[in-house]
C-alpha cells in the first residue's frame, strides 16, 4: 500500500481512540504536491483535499473533479479578491473568509457562477498583526453581515493559533466562540496538533505534512 495511504490510515486509527471523533473529516492538504503523488488517496476513496493557491488547484483538480462528484475541494490559504470568481467555480469550501471586501466579492461571484459554497470565517485568535482574520470581538457582527446581508452559508470558524505554548488556551477560546454562535462545524488543528483540536470539538482537520511528508 502507498505510504501516503498508510499515513492517512494511521491518523484515522489515532482518531478512533478519541471519543466523539466519528464525524471528524480529514482534509488532506495537498498543496505543492503533484496530482500523481496525491492520486493514491483519491483512488482509495478519500474525498476532502485542501489547497492554498487558486491557480495551482485549478491546474491540479479541475478535470478530475468533473469525473468524481464525491471530491470536495477546500481553500485553506489566503484568498485574494481578484481570484474569487475562479475560487467559487472550483472549490466547495473556503476556510479563509477574512474580510468584508472578500465577502462582497465572493457573494457576487456566487450569483455570477450560480453556485453556493460553504464558508468558515477565519478568526485572528491571537490578534497577530502579521496574520489575516477577523478579530475576536468582531466575529459576531461579521457573521451577521455575511449570512444575512450577503446570503453566504457560514458553517463555522477557522483559526490558526499563535506559535507559542498556549495552543490549548486558543483552541478553547475559538471552540467556545464557535459553538456559542450556533455553528456545528469547526476548522481547527493541523499535523502537529490535530489530536488536541479534537478535544475542543474540531470537525475539520487540515492535515498536510503528516500525510504527504515534508515539502521541499
Task: Tell me what pLDDT residue 165 has.
Answer: 77
Checking if the pLDDT of 94 tops 90, the result is: yes
Task: Tell me what pLDDT residue 129 has.
Answer: 85
C-alpha span between 156 and 189 (Å, rounded): 14
Q: What is the mean pLDDT of residues 42-61?
A: 97
% pLDDT > 90, the chain: 91
Angle at 127 between CA 121 and CA 131, to 5 degrees: 65
Task: Name residue, grid cell 491571537.
Answer: 126
Q: What is the mean pLDDT of residues 45-70?
A: 96
The number of C-alpha atoms within 13 Å of 56 and in the hemisphere containing its C-beta is 17
- The total of other beta-carbon atoms located within 10 Å of residue 16's CB is 10
C-alpha span between 80 and 2 (Å, rounded): 35
Instruction: Convert the pLDDT of each residue in 182-212 to its tens digit.
Output: 999 999 999 999 999 999 999 999 999 999 9
Checking if the pLDDT of 215 tops 90, the result is: no
Q: What is the mean pLDDT of residues 118-130?
A: 93
Contact partners, residue 88, CB within 8 Å, separation at least 6: 106, 109, 110, 112, 113, 115, 117
Domain of 89, CATH number, reads 3.20.20.10
For the chain, how many structural domains are there in total? Answer: 1
Q: Supply the range of the domain harboring residue 81.
A: 3-212
Instruction: Convert the pLDDT of each residue in 7-26 to its tens digit.
Output: 999 999 999 999 999 999 99
Instruction: Report pTM.
Output: 0.96
Instruction: Convert the pLDDT of each residue in 72-87 to its tens digit.
Output: 999 999 999 999 999 9
Q: What is the mean pLDDT of residues 104-108?
A: 98
Long-range contacts, stretch 180-188, CB < 8 angstroms, 24+ apart: 181/139, 181/140, 181/143, 181/157, 183/154, 183/155, 183/156, 183/157, 184/155, 184/156, 185/120, 185/155, 185/156, 186/156, 186/157, 186/158, 187/95, 187/120, 187/156, 187/157, 187/158, 187/159, 188/158, 188/159
C-alpha span between 119 and 159 (Å, rounded): 13
Task: Tell me what pLDDT residue 216 has.
Answer: 66
Checking if the pLDDT of 27 tops 50, the result is: yes
Can you read off the three cell numbers belonging to residue 46?
478519500
What integer best gives the mean pLDDT of the chain?
95
Task: Tell me what pLDDT residue 85 has.
Answer: 96
C-alpha span between 20 and 77 (Å, rounded): 28
For the four alpha carbons of 84, 87, 92 and 94, in that order, the dihedral sign comes to negative
| Helix 35-43 vs helix 3-16: crossing angle, to nearest 10 | 50
Checking if the pLDDT of 1 tops 60, the result is: no
Nearest partner of 170 among 125, 109, 202, 137, judged by Cα: 125
Amino acid at each position: 500500500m502507498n505510504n501516503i495511504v498508510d499515513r492517512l490510515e494511521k491518523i484515522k486509527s489515532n482518531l478512533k481512540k478519541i471519543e466523539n471523533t466519528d464525524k471528524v473529516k480529514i482534509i488532506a492538504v495537498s498543496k505543492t504536491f503533484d496530482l500523481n503523488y496525491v492520486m493514491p488517496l483519491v483512488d482509495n476513496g478519500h474525498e476532502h483535499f485542501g489547497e492554498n493557491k487558486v491557480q495551482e488547484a485549478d491546474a491540479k483538480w479541475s478535470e478530475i473533479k468533473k469525473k468524481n462528484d464525491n471530491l470536495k475541494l477546500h481553500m485553506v490559504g489566503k484568498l485574494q479578491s481578484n481570484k474569487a470568481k475562479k475560487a467559487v467555480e472550483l472549490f466547495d469550501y473556503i476556510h479563509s473568509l477574512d474580510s468584508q471586501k472578500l465577502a462582497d466579492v465572493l457573494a457576487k461571484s456566487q450569483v455570477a457562477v450560480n453556485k453556493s459554497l460553504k464558508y468558515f470565517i477565519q478568526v485572528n485568535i491571537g490578534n497577530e498583526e502579521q496574520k489575516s482574520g477577523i478579530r475576536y470581538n468582531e466575529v459576531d457582527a461579521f457573521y451577521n453581515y455575511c449570512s444575512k446581508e450577503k446570503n453566504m452559508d457560514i458553517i463555522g470558524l477557522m483559526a490558526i493559533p499563535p506559535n507559542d505554548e498556549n495552543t490549548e488556551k486558543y483552541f478553547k477560546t475559538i471552540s467556545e466562540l464557535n459553538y456559542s454562535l450556533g455553528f456545528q462545524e469547526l476548522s481547527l488543528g493541523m499535523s502537529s496538533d490535530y489530536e488536541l483540536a479534537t478535544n475542543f470539538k474540531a470537525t475539520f482537520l487540515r492535515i498536510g505534512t503528516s500525510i504527504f511528508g515534508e515539502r521541499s
